[in-house]
């Protein structure tokens, strides 16, 4: 079964609109875990516009499932904090400082060697390292060569094709081929970005071996209608199929 990691960034974004501490990121994590989520994901950015560094430390104290911290290893305190907390997994994402959200994977032909020291540093601390990549079969061998344990497929192009109905078969086959290339290279496969209750089932049925999906925006939007516990449960039902 593909595991579900719940991204709490949008909970933190709403909390930060007021200085009264609600909604609570910690309480949201507890609800997600009680509902059966296999992991919790956060993506602290240097401007702390949603998840704050203090949230990461508080979550590390109470999360009893897999803890995944996303971020750009060349920005802010990300690597320092990851090395101190030692989460189960880090996911390196090539965000620029002003990016609204993650919108592309690593260009490993260009940046791969620059990642080698930070990959080695965190792996030596016992942390699994995943790299956020596009559905490109060419990057998988490089990801393995520079020391990554897993890749996370950036799935917005798939989600867009699903929503529009345009080139869906072609795009899905591209992701299936990328997943197979990752598996052939000896990498674990994660996926995330704009996956939702409508498109998740098809993706996981067509892309073999997906170990984990990280879902935040859509899941939190669903939680506004059905509650967080129920939203997590609905995603788990799909993954269970």
**Token couple for 63:** 């999360």
CA distance 191 to 83: 23
Is position 156 annotated as part of the catalytic site?
no
Q: Which long-range contacts (CB under 8 A, 24 or more apart) does 154-157 make?
A: 154/102, 154/104, 154/105, 154/192, 154/193, 155/191, 155/192, 155/193, 155/194, 155/195, 155/203, 156/103, 156/193, 156/194
Catalytic residue among 43, 50, 152, 212: 43
CA distance 22 to 54: 15
Residue-by-residue pLDDT tens, the chain, 241 positions: 999 999 999 999 999 999 999 999 999 999 999 999 999 999 999 999 999 999 999 999 999 999 999 999 999 999 999 999 999 999 999 987 666 666 789 999 999 999 999 999 999 999 999 999 999 999 999 999 999 999 999 999 999 999 999 999 999 999 999 999 999 999 999 999 999 999 999 999 999 999 999 999 999 999 999 999 999 999 999 999 8
pTM: 0.95
Which domains are seen in the chain, by residue range? 3-240 (3.20.20.70)
Is position 104 annotated as part of the catalytic site?
no
* Segment (H or E) for 147: none
pLDDT of residue 97: 67
CA distance 185 to 187: 6
CA distance 222 to 226: 6
Catalytic residue among 38, 152, 193, 212: 193
Strands (E), 113-149: 128-133
């Amino acid at each position: 079964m593909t595991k579900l990691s719940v991204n709490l960034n949008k909970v933190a974004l709403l909390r930060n609109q007021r200085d009264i501490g609600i909604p609570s990121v910690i309480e949201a994590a507890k609800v997600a875990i009680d509902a059966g989520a296999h992991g919790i994901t956060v993506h602290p950015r240097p401007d702390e516009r949603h998840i704050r560094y203090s949230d990461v430390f508080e979550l590390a104290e109470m999360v009893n499932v897999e803890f995944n911290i996303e971020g750009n290893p060349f920005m802010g305190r990300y690597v320092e904090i990851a090395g101190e907390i030692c989460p189960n997994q880090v996911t390196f994402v090539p965000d620029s400082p002003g990016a609204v959200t993650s919108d592309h994977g690593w260009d490993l032909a260009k940046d791969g060697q620059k990642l080698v020291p930070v990959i080695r540093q965190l792996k030596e601390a016992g942390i699994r390292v995943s790299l956020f990549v596009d559905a490109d079969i060419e990057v998988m061998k490089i990801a393995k060569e520079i020391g990554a344990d897993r890749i996370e497929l950036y799935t917005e192009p798939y989600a867009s094709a699903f929503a529009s109905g345009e080139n869906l078969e072609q795009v899905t086959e591209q992701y299936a081929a990328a997943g197979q290339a990752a598996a052939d290279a000896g990498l674990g496969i994660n996926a995330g970005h704009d996956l939702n209750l409508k498109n998740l089932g098809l993706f996981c049925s067509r892309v073999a071996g997906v170990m984990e999906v990280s879902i935040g925006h859509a899941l939190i939007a669903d939680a506004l209608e059905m509650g967080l516990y129920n939203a997590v449960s609905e995603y788990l039902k799909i993954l269970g199929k």
